[in-house]
Amino acid sequence: MKIKILVIIIFLANINLSYSSQRKQELAISIDHAMKIASEQSLLMCKTLKDKPGLLPRTIDKNGKLMTSDSRWWCSGFFPGVLWYIYEYSGKNEIKDQAELFTKRVEREKFTTTNHDIGFMIYCSFGNGYRLTGNQDYKNVIETACNSLSTRYNDKIKSIKSWDFIENDWQFPVIIDNMMNLEMLLWGSKQFNNNYFRTIAVNHANTTQKYHFRDDYSCYHLVSYDTLTLKPEFKRTYQGASDSSSWARGQAWALYGYTVMYRETKNLKYLDLARHIAQFIIHNPNLPKDKIPYWDFNAPNIPNEERDASAAAIMASALIELSSYVDKMECREYMNVVETQLSTLCSDEYLANPGTNGNFILKHSVGSKPHQDIAPYFGEVNVPLTYADYYFVEALVKYKKYKSNNALFSQVHKTIH
C-alpha cells in the first residue's frame, strides 16, 4: 500500500512539473510576442510624435484619439523608459536612437521643485538611459534632479511633500506614490557620495511606514501632516473608492517601493513590510483568478468594476524582485502570481494589436475613477496609460533576466524569519 501511495505521489509530481514546464515555455513565447508588439507600437508612437516637439504620449480620449502631454505632466518619463527597456531587450539601434530623442524631451524637468514626481520623470528616462549607455551627461541630469527633489523634504515631518495644490485644507500631503521616487535618491546617494539623499529616502520611508498602513497592511493613498504638531491631520484614499478602501495601484506602489528600500538598505523591516503587502494583495478575496486587480480592492460593484492593468504590471515587476529576497516556497508563490499576471497581460484581452489603441501597448487601465466626471483629463478610466506600458515592459525584461540568471539581483534564496 505504501509503495502504491509513493508511486501516485511521484506520478502527480511529474504531472505538475510537466504542466509547470509547459506553462513557462508558453509564457516565454508570449513574452517574445509581447515585446515584438511593444516595439512595433512604440515605433509607431515615435513616428506620430516625430514632428511634435516636446510632446509625449499619455493616453487616448473617449474617441480613441491620442492624448499627449509636455514634460511637465508626471508621466513624461515613462515613454522614454519604455524605449530603453525595448532597446535592452532587442539591442536594436533604431530603438536606441528614439530612446535618446525622447529622453531629451524630458531633460528640463531636472530643475523641477514643484512636485515629487521628478523621480518618475528623470529616473525612468535618464536613469535607464545611463544604466544602458553609461552616458555621463545622463548621470549629471540625475544629480541635478536629486538636488531638486531634495528641496521638497521637510526635516521636521521627515517626509517629502507630494503636492503643492491645496484641497480640503490639507497642509502637507504625502501620497503612497512618493515611495517610487526614493529609488533615484538612493541611487544618487551612492553615485554622488551624498549621504543626505539617503537620509531623506530612509526618513521618508520610515514616516510612511508608520502612518500610511492599516493593521491588514493595506495603505491609505494620502496622509496629510499638520505642520505644527507634525502628526497626521487626516488620512484619505484620494483616487480610491473611499477613504477606508484599498486602491489597487496604491498597494502596488507600496509593494514596489518597500522592495526597493530593502534592496538598497538591506534593512529587514522593509523586507518584512514588503512581504506583508504582497500577502495582502495575493490573498485578497477580491483579487480575480487571472490576478489583474479591480481598480480598487473594495470597489462597490465588484465584479462589475474596471480592472487596472497598470496596477497588475507594477505588482508583477515588484514581485519578481521580491521573490529574490525570500525562501523558495514564498518565491514560488510570488512567481506563480507573476506568471499568471504576465500571461493575462500578454493575451489578446490586454495586449493591443499593432496600429490600434493609440499605439499604446496595453489596454484597460484606470487612472483615477473618482475624478472621471469632475476632471476627465485625470480620470482616465478603461484606457491605455503610459505608465502601464512602462511597468509592463519592465516586468517582461525582469522576468526574462530572472529565468536566465535564476535570481534577478544575484541574490541567493534564504529563509527569512
Active site residues: 117, 177
406 dihedral zone (left: phi>0; alpha: psi -120 to 50; beta): left
Of 357, 312, 282, nearest to 59 by C-alpha is 357
373-to-48, 65, 239, 256, 385 alpha-carbon distances in Å: 29, 19, 13, 30, 18
| Spatial distance between the Cα atoms of 312 and 307, rounded to a whole number of angstroms | 9
Greatest alpha-carbon pair distance for the chain in Å reads: 76
Cα gap 52→44, rounded to integer Å: 14
Contacting residues for 9 by C-beta, under 8 A, at least 6 apart = none
Q: Can you tell me whether residue 119 is helix, strand or coil? A: helix
Structural contact between residues 190 and 216, judged by C-beta atoms closer than 8 angstroms: no
Question: Would the CA dihedral through 167, 168, 171, 174 be positive or negative?
Answer: negative
CB 318 within 8 A of CB 409: no
DSSP secondary structure string for all residues of 13-80:
HHHHHHHHHHHHHHHHHHHHHHHHHHHHHHHHHHHHHTTSTT-EEEEE-TTS-EEEE-TTSTTTTHHH
Which residues contact residue 33 at a Cβ distance below 8 angstroms, ignoring those fewer than 6 apart?
346
CA dihedral 155, 156, 162, 168 (to 10 degrees): -170
Tracing cell 521627515 back to the chain, one arrives at 158
